Structure 1
Amino acid sequence: MSTLLTAAGPVATGPAAAVVGRHREVELLVAALDCGAHVLLEGPPGTGKTTLLRSVAAAGSVPFVFVEGNAELTPGRLIGHFDPAQVLSEGYSPDVFVDGPLVQAMRAGSLLYVEEVNRVPEETLNVLITVMSEGELHVPRLGRVPAAAGFRLVAAMNPFDAVGTARISAAVYDRCCRITMGYQSAQDEADIVVLRGPAVPDPWRAQVVDLVRRTREHPDVRIGSSVRGAIDLVRLAVSLSGLRGQEPTSWLVGLDAALVALSGRVRLQESCGRAPEEIVRELYVAVFGAEPTDDDPADESEPTGDGGASGGA
């Protein structure tokens, strides 16, 4: 795993160029993995936790096994099982055991990446705790499975207040190094939209990013949109503009794209009696200005309002 140390430089310019504004987190992850620690990446959705790990692993040519964490991830699915048909003919032989992702990563000395770890059942977490503590696993009828050199667990989780999440026990935190990942700066998010979205005028893109960032600060919004909302908004606006024969930056095209891209991504306060579409429209007008009238000489394709990328910085 020491080859990961050489990845700290290339991560920003080589195979991991997709990681924008995460130089510090890249260094911390590389150092933690290189020293043999297991890592917990914690942050809101859309902050690049999976992208960060994939980029670091690619830069260091380190294989990893991906596991989607959910309520149906039982210990059996994580560890593996004996093939029933072959057991009938050959018995409980190690040759008929089908490795699950955990055993696969342990045998190969790979990274095991568990996404959404705070959605995983407690009995499954207990299996991971044992492996992190002892570096081995005891499977009935199979025996001891030691973890090969290089095996690391990297788990990602959203904040506890996200829907469907549970508190992670102190036993998990005690066995991991924790790296927190918040939202990036307005400029970094604009750069991500450039990287992932179609070409649009820079000032309008900056206003789109500003709009998305404002969803995280509105008093009626409990959870706002990540930068994925900005990427989808730009993509939708470009597609709609082709269908309508208008510019992507026109007021109505942008509004419809914003309503579709953002209304499902914002989670309102329980006491709020408003609809998500109403919040998105309010913020859209705040950034892009009121809807132009027929006698308004202003060109619709020109960004208006008090937007810019500074609103949520």
Structure 2
Amino acid sequence: MTFATTFGAKSHLVQSIATLTNVRCQHLYLTPQTEPAALVGSLVPHPKLPSWHDGAVSEAITKGHWLVLENFSEASSAVLERLNPVLEQPAQWVKVENNETQPVVVHPNFRIVATMSPPTGRLQNASIETNHELSPALYNRFLIIFYQGLNLSSPDVYKNLFTAYLPTNEIQLIDTLCEKLRSEQLTPRQLVQFIDCAFKLQHSRVVTEHKIDLPSVLLSAYELVFSSDSNKPLASPVKLYLEKEAQHGSINFFNLSVSEKARKGHREHIIDPDKTPTRYDAAKRLCASVICSRPVLLEGPAATGKTSLVEYLAHCDNKKLYRVNNTKGTTIQDYFGSYMPNGEFLNGALSSAMLRGDWFVADEFDLAEPAVMNVLYPILEGQKCLTVPNTGQTLVARDGFRFFATQNGTSYVGRKQLPKTLRSRFLEIQFHSFTENELQFIIVQRKSTSTAPKSSTVFDEDLEKVAPQIASMVKSLNQQIDEKQLPILGAPKLGLTMREVIKWINRKQRKIDVDWDEHALRLLE
């Protein structure tokens, strides 16, 4: 059993040792909702007769894999009890659920490793109210190792990591950067994310073709990992130093990655560096995140263009976007698929995106149930393989697959705060409500992107005249609502969003003889 503080990279340590010894390493992320079937296996439909698919323990013990049981202390008592035989010496495993009476032959390379954070510092899933301790009898079945993680107080650790991933002759740059990073008290995961993003950006086609200097790459990676909100500029010593050294400044990956031809072919998302600066900044960060192949969390108020921005960039990159809109009733099958009555397995949205190398977005991610979130941990860890629970299906993501999640935040009803251990695996982009100037510009641009029938010259001119009034009215109304309206049953205050504004414009465009005010009143009814 491996102990470490939260963000201590316990599973990465085990994975690295397994890779060096040329052994396959499986991961099973335990939650209170995990059932014994995930360990042993279960019967799944088949065109002729149901067939047995081994669970994580059954597969690892026969094939000689290493099995890492993540978040071991979160498992239910039923799961812990079912594990008892395999924790004994010698290990025994009988698949009684498959009507077997003889133990399976244990492969000599089989190993089982459990990971957990110390009880005093454990960060639980937001939905878990209790935090039970493991019994002494269970502890005694393990060899316990406390892993302290990287010694981030040592300058040599930083220098070794940077020189291994980013070999350079700029010794003064690396020495100064390491010294400044050491003073920021980063977690190992933050440091690894920063170096990993810098490495991938440095070796990307965009940076190579334009011969961009290393300090500019490091500055872009630093902003990507540590500055999620463009409205709250980061003024750390590291950033100030890199800004001084960077010849190209922070790299504009949107301009360098998305061609003018692609932008003109997909004008439904309105992005302008001068007129919509917050959306333009989000597009730059999202393009950099795509290059880094890391999961991205887009968070902000409803109808601020989070999902549509992902969709827009997917189209520009010739990728299909698969999507699951989470609710309290969303299940694992909505993500991965399920068996049909004829025994055929029908892939879900996430399975399809992984197998085809396309993009996937989980909307309203903070509404998803813990069982759904925890199944996604391997993807969020950057692993390419994932076993679909209770099916035996193993998915291998093709190159080009990207994972995105969107959410409105805990101010909205029913939303759960994401556990820090889960959230820390994302690169984050914060969205805010449109400013009045942004709103006015977007309203005018709707004449060329509207879904309504083709605009007339009269309507276009009329829209340009009333756009300032609409933008001013929306901001004024929302400000009054924010100041005076009380939230109902924990729900956000009911204001006008961009969705209502677009409906307003489209209704006017379809019935041009009806006054703007009358359309607004009908919309608010």
Structure 1: distance between partners of 2:345 and 2:367: 27
Aligned AA (1:36) = S
Q: CA deviation at 1:80?
A: 1.3
Give the conservation status (yes or no) of the 8 Å contact 1:43–1:158. Answer: yes
Cα distance between partner residues in 2 of 1:50 and 1:201: 26
**Is 1:161 paired with 2:423?**
no
- How do 1:124-135 residues align onto structure 2 when only pairs under 5 Å count? 124-133=372-381, 134-135=383-384
Deviation at 1:42, TM superposition (A): 0.7
Paired residue for 1:261?
A: 523
How much has 1:238 moved relative to structure 2?
Answer: 5.6
1:212 and 2:460 are equivalent in the alignment:
no
1:104 corresponds in structure 2 to: 352
Secondary structure at the counterpart of residue 51 of structure 1 = helix
Aligned-residue offset at 1:213: 1.2
Matched length: 245
Q: Which position in structure 2 is the counterpart of 1:60?
A: 317
Q: Deviations over 1:161-214 (max 9, x none)?
A: 123322222233111111011123323212222233553253422111111112
Q: Does 1:81 align with 2:338?
A: yes
Identity percentage of aligned residues: 22
Counterpart residue type for residue 442 of structure 2: I
TM-score by length of 1: 0.69
2:327 aligned partner: 70
Counterpart CA distance in 2 for 1:148 and 1:142 is 19
Q: Which of 368, 378, 385 lines up with 1:120 in the alignment?
A: 368
| Paired residues of 2:300 and 2:430 also in contact (CA < 8 A) | yes
1:229 and 2:479 aligned: no
SS of 2:478 mapped into structure 1: coil
The answer on whether the counterparts of 1:69 and 1:116 sit within 8 Å (CA) in structure 2 is yes
Cα distance 1:201–1:115, how it changes in 2: closer, same or farther (>3 A)? closer
Q: Quick one: structure 1 residues 195 and 104, their matched pair in 2 at CA, closer, same or farther if it must change by over 3 Å?
A: same
Q: Is the 8 A contact 2:440 2:471 kept in 1?
A: yes
Cα distance between partner residues in 2 of 1:66 and 1:48 = 15
- Looking at structure 2, the residues matched to 12 and 45 of structure 1 have their Cα atoms a distance apart, in angstroms, of 27
CA contact (8 A) 2:340 2:346 kept: yes
Correspondences of 1:1-313 after superposition (within 5 Å): 6-10=256-260, 13-17=263-267, 18-20=269-271, 21=276, 22-86=279-343, 96-133=344-381, 134-139=383-388, 140-196=390-446, 199=460, 200-218=462-480, 219-221=483-485, 222-237=493-508, 242=513, 248=515, 254=517, 256-262=518-524
Contact map agreement 2:270 2:445 (CA 8 A) in 1: no
Amino acid at match of 2:477: T
Q: Distance in 2 between matches of 1:97 and 1:187?
A: 50
Hey, what's the Cα distance between the residues in 2 that align with 1:163 and 1:124? Answer: 19
In 2, distance between residues paired with 1:183 and 1:157? 14
Larger relative contact order (Cα-Cα within 8 Å, sequence gap ≥ 6):
1
Assess if the C-alpha contact under 8 Å between 2:314 and 2:321 holds in 1: yes
Structure 2 residue aligned with 1:291: none
Distance 2:505 2:264 in 1: 26
SS of 1:126's equivalent in the other structure is helix
Using the TM superposition, give the Cα deviation of residue 240 of structure 1 relative to its aligned residue in structure 2, in angstroms: 6.2
Partner residue, 2:167: none
Q: Confirm or deny: 8 A CA contact 2:263 2:316 kept in the other structure.
A: no
How far is the alpha carbon of 1:260 from its aligned partner?
3.0
Question: 1:9 Cα shift?
Answer: 5.0
Contact kept in structure 2, 1:19 and 1:52, CA below 8 Å? no
Mapped to 2, the partners of 1:11 and 1:153 lie a distance apart of 25
Q: CA deviation at 1:16?
A: 3.9
Q: Which residue of 2 aligns with 1:297?
A: none
Distance in 1 (alpha carbons) for counterparts of 2:319 and 2:380:
19
Structure 2 distance, partners of 1:180, 1:205, is: 26
TM-score, normalised to structure 2, is 0.43
Larger radius of gyration: 2
Cα 1:182–1:107 change in 2 (3 A) is: same
Contact 1:109 1:151 in 2 (8 A): yes
Distance 1:238-1:153 versus aligned 2 partners, 3 A rule: closer
What stretches of structure 1 of length at least 5 have no aligned partner?
87-95, 264-313
What SS does the corresponding residue of 1:41 show, helix, strand or coil? strand
